[in-house]
A = this chain, B = another copy of it.
Amino acid sequence: MNFGSDNCGPAHPAILDAVIKANSGYQPSYGDDTIMDRVRAKIRELFEAPEAAVYLVATGTAANSLALACLAQPWDTVFCSAAAHIQRDECHAPEFYTGGAKLTLAGEGDKLTPEGLEQAITSWVKGDVHVSQRGPLALTQATENGRIYCVTEIQALTTVAKKYDLPTYMDGARFTNALVALGCTPAEMTWKAGVDAVSLGGSKNGCMGVEAVIFFDPSKAWEFELRRKRGAHLFSKHRYLSAQMQGYLADDLWLETARLANAHGAYLAKRLTEIDGAEILYDVQVNMIFARLPRATHQKLRAGGAVYGLFDGPLDSGDPEAPLSMRLVCDWSITEAEIDQFIAAAK
């Protein structure tokens, strides 16, 4: 009954099999391994982007920070939502890697709107040396609250960015969860909708720790390589990153694990409604559920061993009927039985 995060569960056995298979003989180090050649070709094919620059790093924060550092000067501001992982969860890694760029929050929630974005952009006067210079748009797909930008919404946001000559980066830590929910192609969700660079997350979706960073315009490729090395993110035994990504993309495993996680999320959301006083906070579109339950219910759940994030107040004291917010994340490996057990514990 662990709904703490999709990074708490195990890696998919097929990922480990790919790693074991890669663990034979000698391979050039630092990204020159032959497996990476195949990974690069595979990602270019999947994204219908034969010229794309493709790199691997081991953490989502590295992917975000290194990509943004290639798109933002130190005096630029990144435009993102108030809930963005880069704003709330990365201990200033974006500021560190960009050399001091600012994050301007466009709106209050987790999803950006074209109006909010334009308001944020125009809050900084272009060409004024005293203020933040306008830099990239960063959007998270799926969002930190488990919501999805549909292709039309992405297009609307990048259109605003392009109006001001700003590039767009997509934090795709849960890229595939969004992709399978939308039922579109990787290209449709990215460059065809105006996205310039994207991370394709593996760590939260069945890998041990690997994220691809993709620049559709490869002109930033060498700069990315330098930044990755300087950031200490270029692995000597890079083959083990390559192998994970190779296993992840082979036989549609990435789509399968994302579909599993999303299906578990939907099932959990459905069953949550059976609990007295339960309130679902956002549309459940991928594998994350934000909900409110009475304090007493939380107490039962925690006593029963359920693991998940809890907000809004102390668990132990206070009105037992008072609702407390929770975040539940289903990873690919969770089972219906565990969800049933969770619901049973809440009742």
Contacts and interface: CB of A to CB of B under 8 A. Distances in A.
B89 A5 contact: no
Contacts of A103: 102
Given A92-B75, A93-B230, A102-B103, A236 B9 contact: no
A73 B65 CA distance: 17
A101 B93 contact: no
A130 interface: yes
Interface string A40-84: 000000000000000001111110011000000111000000000
25 contacts: A5-B236, A7-B237, A9-B26, A10-B24, A19-B19, A30-B130, A58-B209, A59-B236, A61-B229, A61-B234, A75-B227, A89-B130, A89-B131, A90-B130, A91-B229, A92-B132, A93-B232, A96-B231, A100-B100, A203-B236, A203-B237, A208-B240, A209-B236, A209-B240, A231-B231
Interface in A16-38: 16, 19-20, 23-30
A227 to B, nearest CB: 8
A337 interface: no
A204 B236 CA distance: 9
A16 B19 CA distance: 8
Contacts of A92: 74-75, 100-102, 132, 230
A337 to B, nearest CB: 14
Interface of A: 2, 4-5, 7-11, 13, 16, 19-20, 23-30, 57-62, 65-66, 73-75, 88-93, 95-103, 129-133, 203-204, 208-209, 225-227, 229-237, 240, 307
A235 B8 CA distance: 11
B91 A75 contact: yes
B25 A10 contact: yes
A117 to B, nearest CB: 18
A146 to B, nearest CB: 17
A203 B30 CA distance: 12
Contact of A29 (B7, B131, B225, B234): B7
Given A129-B226, A130-B229, 12 more contacts: A10-B23, A11-B237, A11-B240, A16-B23, A19-B208, A23-B208, A59-B233, A73-B226, A92-B132, A92-B230, A231-B232, A232-B233
A64 B333 CA distance: 36
Interface SS, A side: loop
A60 B130 contact: no
Contacts of A89: 130-131
Nearest to A173: B236
Given A59-B233, A204-B236, A235-B59, A91 B26 contact: no
B237 A65 contact: no
Given A4-B26, A129-B30, A237-B208, A74 B59 contact: no
A23 to B, nearest CB: 5
Contacts of A25: 10
Q: Among A27, A29, A229, which residue has the most Cβ atoms of chain B within 10 A?
A: A229
B88 A131 contact: yes
Nearest to A65: B232
